[in-house]
Amino acid sequence: AGSSSLKYGFFRVLSRTTNRLVASGVVECIGQALGTAKYKTEYTDISTEAEFKTHSDALHHVIRLLTDGRTGVVTDPSDIQCVGHRVVHGGSRFKTAAVIDDDVLAAIEEACSLAPLHGPHNLLGIQVAKTMFPVPQVAVFDTAF
C-alpha cells in the first residue's frame, strides 16, 4: 500500500517452487473524490472509477473483484491462504522476509520513520489485511535486497 494507492497480485500456488499470477491490479487516488480501480486476469481487463475513502474501502473493492462470479479468480475470501506485503524499509533487523507477528509488526512500525512517505502506508495496509484475512501475513522488505 502506498499513500494513495494499493497494488496487488493474486498468485495460484502450483508447487513449492512454482506460482502463477492469475489476477493483478491497482487502486489509485485513495482518499480523493474520484479514484480508479484496475483489475486484470487472463480473461478480463476492467477499469472502474469510484470513491475509495480509505485503504480498507480499496481492499474491500479488490475482494469483490477477486470473488465476482463472472470475473473473479476465487469463490470466497476464505480461499485466500496467505497475504504478502511489500514493505519499503525493514530497518537493520530484517534481512529476509518475515511472517508478521506482533513483534514484527512493532518493528515495522518503528522503522516507519526511516521511510516516512511509505512506511506508515505499508503498516496501514498490513493492519487492514490482517483484519480481513485471518491467514499468515508475510512482509518482504525492499531493504533485504
- pLDDT, tens digit, for every residue of 101-122? 999 999 999 988 888 888 888 8
Catalytic residues: 142
- pLDDT tens per residue across span 47-73: 999 999 998 899 999 999 999 999 899
pTM of the model: 0.84
Range with the poorest average pLDDT among 12-26, 39-53, 82-96: 82-96
**Predicted pLDDT at 3:** 78
Alpha carbon distance 71, 112 (integer Å): 36
Residues in contact with 6: Cβ distance below 8 Å, sequence separation at least 6, in sequence order:
26, 27, 30, 55, 58, 59, 62, 125
Is the predicted pLDDT of residue 90 greater than 80, yes or no?
A: yes
Residues 37/47, Cβ–Cβ less than 8 Å:
yes
